[in-house]
Amino acid sequence: MGLRSLPSALCFEGMSDPADLTISEAGRLLRARSLSPVDLIEAVLARIAARNPRYNAFLSVDEDAVRSEARDAEAAFCSGDVRGPLHGIPYGVKDIVDVRGETTTCNSRVRGYHMADADADIVGRLRGSGAILIGKLALHEFARGGAMWDLPWPPARNPWDPDRHPGGSSSGSGAAVAAGMLPAAIGTDTGGSVRHPATACGIVGLKPTYDAISRRGIFPLAFSLDTVGLLTRTVEDNALLFHAARAPYNGGSRNERDCLHHLWDGIRGLRIGLVEHFYVSDVEAHSDFQAAMEGAVDVLRSLGAEVARIHLSPLPLWTACGQAILQSESYVVHEAWLRERPQDYSSDCRAKLLVGRFVPASKYLKAQQMRAVLIAEFEAAMREVDIVVTLSSMDPPARIDDRAEVARTYARHARMPFNLTGTPAMSVPIGLSAEGLPIGMQIAGRAFDEATVYRVGWAYCAASGSTELRPPMRD
C-alpha cells in the first residue's frame, strides 16, 4: 500500500484565524504588537466551542478566568513587561494535573470532587512564563483505563477520523492540539502516554528525561516510570515549552542547556542508531509503517547523518519488564479505593489496576533488577551513537468502538523502553498511511540531552514538511 506524499510548507500569510498559529508564530506577532492576546484567546475559545463537541478533548474551560488573564497579558504587552516567548500563549493540561481552585478528576467518579489547593509545579512555572491555561483535557481514567463509555465524560476522538482512537492516556491533549484547539498541551507518559496520542494524532510529543519536569501536583500512576510530557504542533514549539516547564537541575548545568541554541544546526555527521528489529522482527509493524520509517531514515541520511542499525534486547523483554513495574506500582496507589469502592471505576480501569494485586513482590524486584541491566545496555549502545530512532506505534489507530482492536493495537508499540531507561524520547510525524492516518517515528537520546533530540527532530521535520500536515477539520 502506498503512502501519501507530504505537502509543501504552509506559510502564516495563508492563515486567517489566529487559532491556527503555532507558539513561535503567535509569540512573534504578540511581541511585535501585531496580534492582541485578547484576540488570540477569543479565537481559541471560538475554535473550542466549534470543535470540542465533535472531538471531546476538553473536560472544562473557565472562560471568565481565561479572558481575565488575556486582558492582563494585553496590559503587560502595552507596558513592555513581556515575560518571554510563552507570554500570552494558550495551553491546556491533562486532568491529572492540579490547578489551584479546580477539581482534578482524573476522569473518574472516584476523584470527581477532589479540589486542588495548589498548582502543580508545571502549572506554576507556566504561569510564571505568562502562558494562559485554557482548561482541563480528557484522559483515560487515572491514565490507566481505555476509551470507556462508563466514565463521567465521553472519550476524546481522533481529529483525523472521529471514529478512530486518538491514542492515550493523554487522549484529550493529543486531540486538542491536532484539532487546532490549542497550540500546546501537557500530558503524562508512564508507558508511552504522550508519544501515543502524538503519533496517532500526527503531532509532536516529548517524554523528557525522568524528573526533568517536576511531577509535584500530578496524580501518580507508577512513580518510577511517570514523566510529564509536552504535545505541540512543531518541534520548535516543543522546545520553547520545555524550556519554560523544566525543573532546575541541582547537580550541575546539563539540564540547563538551552534546547533552542543548536536547534537549527543541522545533523551532518551525527551518528544515528536505527533500532529496526523492534518493528521488523520483534513485533512486525504494519507495512505502511515500515515503509514510512524507511523513508524517514532516507531523509536523515540525505541530511548528512550517519545511520547504522544497532541491536538492543528484544522489544517483548522491555515491554514485559515495564508492565510488571507499572502493574505493581499502580495497584499500590489504588489499593484502598479498589477495596472500598470498586464500583466507582470503569470496567477497563478496574480490571487493569487489579492485575497488580497478583504480581508477587519477587516478580517486581526481578523486573527492577532486569531494568538495571537494560539501562546499562542502552547506555553502552549510546556510547557508539548520538541518538537512536525507531517506530512509535506498529499499527494505525483502531476504531474507537472496537474494544478488542483498541486493546490489541494499544499494546503494539516501542515506547516502553525509554520509560524504563528514563531517557528523553520524542514522537514526530513521518507521513500518512494509505488510509490517511498518521505515522510517528521516535527519536531518543541520552539522559538530559533533549537538545540533540530536538535538533534531529527539527532537521527531519523541516526537510520533510511532516509537521505541516493537518487533519481535515469539520466544525
Question: Residue 475 has what pLDDT?
Answer: 65
In a domain, 475, yes or no: no
CB half-sphere exposure, 1, CA atoms < 13 A: 13
Peptide bond into 169 cis (omega under 30): yes
**Domains: count for the chain:** 1
Neighbours of 74 (CB within 10 A): 18
**Which of the residues 24, 94, 129, 464 is marked catalytic?**
94
In a domain, 93, yes or no: yes
In a domain, 6, yes or no: no
**Which of the residues 24, 169, 170, 171 is marked catalytic?**
169
The contacts of residue 408 (CB under 8 Å, 6+ apart) are: 398
Question: Residue 12 has what pLDDT?
Answer: 36
Write b or e for each residue in 352-379: b if 16 or more Cβ atoms lie within 10 A of its Cβ, otherwise e.
Answer: bbbebeebeeeebeebeebbeebbebbe
Is 214 part of the annotated catalytic residue set?
A: no
**Which CATH number covers residue 447?**
3.90.1300.10
Question: Residue 425 has what pLDDT?
Answer: 98
> What are the grid coordinates assigned to 186, written together?
501537557
Are the beta carbons of 106 and 141 closer than 8 angstroms? Answer: yes
For residue 61, give the H/E element and its range.
Answer: strand 58-61
In a domain, 1, yes or no: no
In a domain, 3, yes or no: no
Q: Is the pTM of this model over 0.85?
A: yes
Put the strands of the sheet holding 438-444 in their side by side order: 58-61, 132-137, 90-94, 184-188, 228-232, 204-207, 425-432, 438-444, 387-391, 271-274, 306-309
Full residue range of the structural domain in which residue 363 is found: 12-468
**Which of the residues 36, 108, 193, 392 is marked catalytic?**
193
Question: Residue 332 has what pLDDT?
Answer: 98
d(CA 315, CA 385): 19
In a domain, 319, yes or no: yes
The contacts of residue 402 (CB under 8 Å, 6+ apart) are: none
> What are the grid coordinates assigned to 7, written together?
505537502
Mean pLDDT by 10 residues, the chain (475 residues): 35 66 97 97 98 97 97 96 96 98 96 92 98 98 83 93 96 98 98 98 98 97 98 98 84 58 95 98 98 98 98 98 98 98 94 96 98 98 98 97 92 97 98 97 97 98 96 79
In a domain, 266, yes or no: yes
| Residue 53: burial class (beta carbons within 10 Å; 0-12, 13-18, 19+) | exposed
Is 363 part of the annotated catalytic residue set?
A: no
Question: Residue 361 has what pLDDT?
Answer: 97
In a domain, 284, yes or no: yes
HEC secondary structure over 102-171: CECCCCCHHHCCCECCCCCHHHHHHHHCCCEEEEEECCCHHHCCCCCCCCCCCCCCECCECCECCCCCCH
Is 94 part of the annotated catalytic residue set?
A: yes
